[in-house]
Amino acid sequence: MVAVHRRRNEDGLVGCKQDGGGEIAGGIAAYLATALSWLRLRPSDAAYATVVTVMVTFLPFWLSIPRYLLGMYPLFLLAGRITRRWLYLPLVGVSFVALVVFGLAFGRGYWAF
């Protein structure tokens, strides 16, 4: 499902481009967060999450959906309501590992167009 393409740019550097995985995960996360926002947040926040999700995912191409999710503030409101320690601590650990891995990939030039 996820395709990795290696290519050389004009400077002769080799880069990787991944197609599909992050966009699909971002789209699923957007729809799950939208459904959960209707159950846990104010109707105005849930309506905003619905509009953002529909606008981003109804494009004819899914490109960089996780970037557009940063503007969906109800997602952060939902994440801030996690109070169970058994769920919160692994989430922080996974987020830290992802920060390191993706930061290194970006620094090496593997995460750019």
Q: What is the pLDDT of residues 61-76, one digit of tens each?
A: 777 787 888 888 888 8
Taking each helix axis as running N to C, give the angle between helix 73-80 and helix 43-57, from 0 to 180 degrees, rounded to the nearest 10.
Answer: 130
Number of domains in the chain: 1
Domain with 33 in it:
19-81
Q: How confident is the model at residue 32 (pLDDT cuts 50, 70, 90)?
A: very high
Residue 6 lies in a domain: no
Residue 28 lies in a domain: yes
Residue 1 lies in a domain: no
Q: How confident is the model at residue 11 (pLDDT cuts 50, 70, 90)?
A: low
Residue 13 lies in a domain: no
pTM equals 0.68
Residue 112 lies in a domain: no
Q: How far apart are CA 42 and CA 73, in angstroms?
A: 13
Residue 43: what residue type? P
> Which of 103, 55, 99, 50 is closest to 75 using CA atoms?
50
Q: How far apart are CA 47 and CA 5, in angstroms?
A: 38
**Cα torsion for 29, 55, 105, 113, to the nearest 10°?**
150
Residue 25 lies in a domain: yes
Predicted pLDDT of residue 60? 80
- Three-state SS for 75? helix
- pLDDT 10s digits, 50-63: 999 998 888 887 77
Residue 76 lies in a domain: yes
**Cα torsion for 74, 79, 2, 7, to the nearest 10°?**
80
Residue 59 lies in a domain: yes
